[in-house]
């Protein structure tokens, strides 16, 4: 249940049970009802098992909720979070952008819905959309740094938890709605959320219903952007070149949930469904409606995603005995994703996942507070079709974790440990299907791929020192291990949506042989796949009282056996790997392991200049290198930003600027990404203050403007950097309300 209480004048402070640690975050957008001076809110966080009310932390977390979430909400999760400190977006043409935390994404950043895996395929390819919806969420939580203690292998880089009220935890009645239009892509959007408490036969129940709808066309490019600038002729530059081809999308969904509420807790379940149809940009190799006879890839690939999700949540509190509370979470997800070429289904992806999580809290024992966690997760993944690049596989994960905390005067100590067992079992039939470019000269006794087993271990120690009133320092040291995903290990084939040919880590390309005779020959890699092991240190300094506050964090990660995709410089054309390719060729990417050093700095400052006026400044930087000194591919650039907010009696407004520096710390075969600056603004007018009662007593009319200077912004972390810049100048208008 969400609990809030104003406790002191400052910025927003979030209590987070990260090893039982609360987290401080600075609020940039005050709500209409908030006083002019910044205040502290204590907000219960759903992403972690322990919760506290002390204003202190050993690790940083971003939390977006309320009006701030409504203003930042975008069509994808990555674009919603991209302006948060330490968070960037993979930006895949506005249709499938995922969050990047401290330079890490994909299988290292777990996306969860109410604390359980979203169950989609977004971590196997940048072209796969995240199956969560921001318009019906109540808050979004970002754990920056290793969160394997709570979530296992898939969270070595962090967690993004999308929270909604699909399973009510109180009998409160509420309703919210939103309507919005955006001119850059002719996007129309609507959403609603309803909750009603009731009594049946003297017992308390609550029902929840929410839904959303979004329809957007191709988005308009910046006026000065010319994707054909390096071509000798502009004849192919058609009349629609002002828009990014294949960037349109449609989505809709609804969720229905109910809960039984009793004195000792609650139990509830929900059903949700989501449908998202979108084009995949970057697959059209030219502007004509033609395709190459060499590889048969059609222009204008479409994707259709459908997901059904059942979820159960319960909390039971005990007044007697050593056990204080039992919290149980369960989710079953049925995910389907189809890639369509020329009206025909080319490749289909299926994922059925089951997840069960039980947190057992104990009563205080010698002033120690803590919990044990039992966690099971399974994923049955299949890719079917000629371009299926990953074999069918079943991944199972069983884990047990232990978390404790205790105060020693001004110092809070947190301890935690987790043991996982991970098993990946793939079907050999996939490799028989691809025998024409598979492992050759295998004896009957040799298996192409057998069951892989891993035992990741994670541990963490944190200290928080309240050395002076209104100040504290947090220090965290973590040892985290991650089992590789099936896609990282055994991918082999053309990934149509990503426009690449992918080869997993269990294979070894015989490059000299391939370049000699033009055939694809693959051998099993001589080395055994290993766990990815991270040694992490975080240091955070905070000031959280008075008119001026700040959070400054620095971190260092040493990751052994880091899995990454390396561009080989080779190309796949007509089932051959060649040294030189044309515009219809697919670049060959190979998953490799290497040691990586990553360090960075994150800072945010807030100053209440006067009662209605507040200024915020932030910046972040990350440096990531391989063991040979080469830079890690697609590392986000350094950036700084500033925001000025004014709050009147019936309106508030803000203007912000974010500057992204040139990224010239580039990997082999990457290109330098130019610097750019983005200027945005938003304005909210609260009609309720005028006595207007239209679809609710709290109605807000708002206007948002983004990229006001129509800047050409190329995203270095995007696979589509050269062809898909951020949208040009755009404006949104909308109404939202509650009653």
State pLDDT tens for residues 218-251: 999 999 997 655 443 333 334 456 899 889 999 9
Does 612 score more than 70 pLDDT?
yes
Please give the pLDDT value at position 285. Answer: 40
Number of domains in the chain: 1
Lowest mean pLDDT among 11-20, 303-312, 443-452: 11-20
pLDDT > 70 fraction of the chain, expressed in percent and rounded: 80
In a domain, 162, yes or no: no
Mean pLDDT across 723-732: 95
CA atoms within 13 A on the CB side of 474: 27
Please give the pLDDT value at position 607. Answer: 95
Does 47 score more than 90 pLDDT?
no
Cβ pair 175, 197 in contact under 8 A: no
**Phi and psi, residue 584, nearest 5°:** -95, 0
* Dist CA 259 CA 166 (whole Å): 9
Rg over alpha carbons for the chain, rounded to the nearest Å, is 25
Which residues, other chains included, contact 611 with Cβ-Cβ below 8 Å and sequence gap of 6+? 36, 37
In a domain, 24, yes or no: yes
DSSP string, 478-515: EEEEEPPPHHHHH-EEEETTTTEEEE-TTEEE-HHHHH
Does 316 score more than 80 pLDDT?
yes
Which DSSP helix (H) or strand (E) runs through 216?
Answer: strand 203-216
Query: pLDDT confidence of 149, banded at 50, 70, 90?
Result: confident
In a domain, 641, yes or no: yes
- The alpha carbon dihedral of 181, 70, 217, 344 has a sign of negative
Lowest mean pLDDT among 1-5, 296-300, 574-578, 664-668: 1-5
Does 592 score more than 50 pLDDT?
yes
- Burial (CB count within 10 angstroms: exposed 0-12, middle 13-18, buried 19+), residue 408: exposed
Q: Which one-letter DSSP state was computed for residue 104?
A: B
Query: pLDDT confidence of 511, banded at 50, 70, 90?
Result: low
Mean pLDDT across 301-326: 94
Q: Identify which has the larger pLDDT, 608 or 571.
A: 608
* Dist CA 181 CA 408 (whole Å): 54
Cβ pair 27, 38 in contact under 8 A: yes
CA atoms within 13 A on the CB side of 706: 24
Please give the pLDDT value at position 93. Answer: 80
Query: pLDDT confidence of 427, banded at 50, 70, 90?
Result: confident
Does 703 score more than 90 pLDDT?
yes
Q: Which one-letter DSSP state was computed for residue 428?
A: T
Please give the pLDDT value at position 433. Answer: 41
Which DSSP helix (H) or strand (E) runs through 632?
Answer: none
In a domain, 14, yes or no: yes
Domain holding 386: CATH number?
2.40.170.20
Cβ pair 63, 141 in contact under 8 A: yes
Please give the pLDDT value at position 431. Answer: 53
Please give the pLDDT value at position 669. Answer: 84
Q: Identify which has the larger pLDDT, 498 or 669.
A: 669
pLDDT > 90 fraction of the chain, expressed in percent and rounded: 55
Please give the pLDDT value at position 36. Answer: 37
Does 267 score more than 80 pLDDT?
yes
Q: What does the CA dihedral 20, 26, 27, 33 come to, rounded to 10 degrees?
A: 70
Lowest mean pLDDT among 107-121, 138-152, 707-721: 138-152
Cβ pair 685, 464 in contact under 8 A: no
pLDDT digits (tens, 9 = 90+) for 383-425: 888 778 888 899 999 999 999 999 999 999 999 999 999 999 9
In a domain, 165, yes or no: no
Mean pLDDT across 283-296: 39
Mean pLDDT across 610-627: 95
Does 436 score more than 70 pLDDT?
no
Mean pLDDT across 320-325: 92
In a domain, 1, yes or no: no
Host domain of residue 544 = 6-156+171-738
Mean pLDDT across 537-553: 92
110-124, 181-195, 465-479, 493-507: which is most confident: 181-195
pLDDT digits (tens, 9 = 90+) for 91-113: 988 788 999 999 999 889 999 99
Query: pLDDT confidence of 719, banded at 50, 70, 90?
Result: confident
Cβ pair 657, 624 in contact under 8 A: no
Mean pLDDT across 428-449: 46
Mean pLDDT across 529-558: 93
Mean pLDDT across 316-333: 94
pLDDT digits (tens, 9 = 90+) for 11-30: 333 334 333 333 444 543 34
| Helices first, then strands: H and E counts in the chain | 6, 39
DSSP string, 132-157: --STT-SEEEEEES--HHHH-GGGSS
Tokens of 502: 């992918």
409: left (phi over 0), alpha (psi -120 to 50) or beta: left
Whose CA is closest to 117, among 150, 70, 165, 88?
Answer: 150
pLDDT digits (tens, 9 = 90+) for 118-139: 999 888 878 888 999 999 999 9
Q: Which one-letter DSSP state was computed for residue 165?
A: -
* Dist CA 644 CA 654 (whole Å): 5
**How high does pLDDT run on average in the chain?**
83
Whose CA is closest to 713, among 278, 79, 76, 100?
Answer: 79
pLDDT digits (tens, 9 = 90+) for 159-209: 999 999 999 999 999 999 999 999 999 999 999 999 999 999 999 999 999
Please give the pLDDT value at position 49. Answer: 62
Q: Identify which has the larger pLDDT, 493 or 442.
A: 493
Other C-beta atoms lying within 10 Å of the C-beta of residue 171: 16
In a domain, 523, yes or no: yes
Query: pLDDT confidence of 578, banded at 50, 70, 90?
Result: low
Please give the pLDDT value at position 124. Answer: 81
């Amino acid at each position: 249940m969400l609990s809030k209480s104003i406790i002191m004048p400052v910025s927003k402070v979030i209590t987070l049970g990260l090893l039982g640690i609360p987290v401080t975050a600075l609020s940039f957008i005050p709500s209409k009802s908030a006083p002019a001076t910044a205040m502290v809110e204590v907000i219960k966080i759903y992403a972690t098992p322990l919760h506290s009310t002390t204003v202190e932390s050993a690790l940083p977390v971003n939390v977006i909720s309320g009006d701030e979430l409504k203003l930042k909400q975008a069509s994808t999760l990555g674009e919603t979070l991209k302006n948060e400190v330490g968070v960037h977006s993979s930006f895949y043409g506005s249709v499938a952008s995922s969050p990047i935390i401290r330079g890490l994404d994909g299988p290292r950043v777990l996306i969860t819905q109410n604390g359980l895996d979203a169950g989609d395929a977004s971590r196997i390819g940048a072209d796969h959309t995240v199956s969560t919806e921001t318009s019906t969420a109540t808050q979004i939580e970002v754990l920056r740094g290793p969160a394997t203690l709570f979530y296992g292998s898939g969270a070595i880089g962090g967690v993004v938890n999308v929270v909604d009220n699909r399973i009510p935890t109180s009998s409160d009645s509420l309703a919210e709605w939103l309507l919005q239009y955006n001119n850059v892509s002719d996007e129309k959007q609507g959403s609603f959320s309803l909750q009603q408490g009731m009594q049946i036969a003297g017992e308390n129940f609550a029902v929840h219903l929410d839904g959303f709808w979004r329809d957007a066309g191709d988005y308009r490019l910046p006026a000065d952007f010319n994707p054909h600038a390096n071509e000798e002729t502009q004849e192919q530059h058609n009349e629609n070149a002002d828009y990014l081809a294949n960037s349109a999308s449609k989505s809709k969904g609804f969720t229905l949930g109910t809960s039984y509420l009793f004195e000792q807790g609650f139990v509830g379940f929900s059903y949700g469904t989501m449908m998202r149809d979108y084009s995949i940009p970057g697959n059209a190799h030219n502007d004509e409606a033609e395709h190459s006879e060499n590889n048969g890839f059609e222009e204008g690939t479409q994707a259709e995603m459908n997901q059904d999700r059942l979820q159960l949540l319960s909390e039971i509190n005990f007044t007697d005995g050593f056990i204080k509370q039992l919290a149980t979470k369960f989710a079953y997800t049925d995910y389907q994703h189809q890639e369509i070429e020329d009206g025909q289904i080319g490749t289909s992806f299926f994922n059925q996942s089951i997840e069960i999580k039980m947190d057992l809290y104990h009563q205080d024992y010698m002033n120690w507070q803590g919990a044990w966690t039992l966690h099971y997760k399974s994923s049955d993944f299949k890719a079917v079709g000629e371009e299926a690049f990953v074999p069918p596989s079943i991944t199972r994960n069983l884990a047990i974790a232990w978390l404790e905390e205790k105060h020693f005067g001004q110092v809070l100590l947190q301890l935690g440990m987790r043991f996982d067992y991970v098993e990946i079992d793939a079907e050999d039939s996939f490799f028989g299907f691809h025998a024409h470019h598979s492992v050759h000269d295998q004896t009957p006794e040799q298996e192409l791929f057998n069951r892989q087993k891993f035992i990741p271990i994670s541990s963490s120690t944190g200290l928080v020192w309240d050395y002076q009133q209104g100040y504290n320092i947090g220090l965290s040291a973590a040892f985290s291990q991650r089992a590789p995903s099936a896609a990282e290990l055994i991918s082999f084939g053309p990934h149509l949506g990503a426009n690449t040919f992918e080869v997993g880590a269990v294979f070894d390309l015989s490059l000299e042989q391939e370049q000699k005779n033009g055939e694809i020959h693959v051998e099993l890699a001589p080395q055994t796949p290993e766990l990815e092991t991270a040694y992490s240190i975080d240091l955070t300094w905070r000031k959280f009282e008075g008119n001026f506050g700040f959070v400054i964090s620095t971190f260092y990660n040493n990751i052994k056996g880091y899995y990454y995709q390396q561009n080989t410089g080779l190309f796949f054309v007509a089932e051959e790997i060649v040294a030189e390719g044309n515009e219809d060729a697919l670049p060959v990417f190979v998953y490799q392991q290497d040691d990586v050093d990553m360090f960075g700095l994150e800072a945010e400052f807030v100053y209440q200049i006067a009662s209605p006026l507040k200024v915020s400044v932030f910046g972040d930087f990350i440096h990531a290198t391989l063991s040979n000194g080469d830079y890690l591919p697609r590392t986000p650039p350094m950036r700084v930003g500033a925001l000025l907010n004014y709050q009147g009696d019936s309106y508030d407004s803000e203007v912000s600027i974010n500057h992204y520096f040139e990224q010239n710390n580039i990997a082999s075969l990457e290109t330098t990404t130019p610097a750019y600056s983005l200027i945005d603004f938003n304005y909210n007018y609260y009609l309720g203050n005028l006595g207007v009662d239209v679809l609710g007593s709290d109605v807000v009319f708002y206007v948002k403007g983004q990229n006001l200077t129509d800047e050409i912004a190329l995203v270095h972390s995007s696979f589509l950097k050269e062809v898909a810049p951020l949208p040009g100048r755009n404006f949104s208008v909308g109404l939202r309300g509650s009653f």
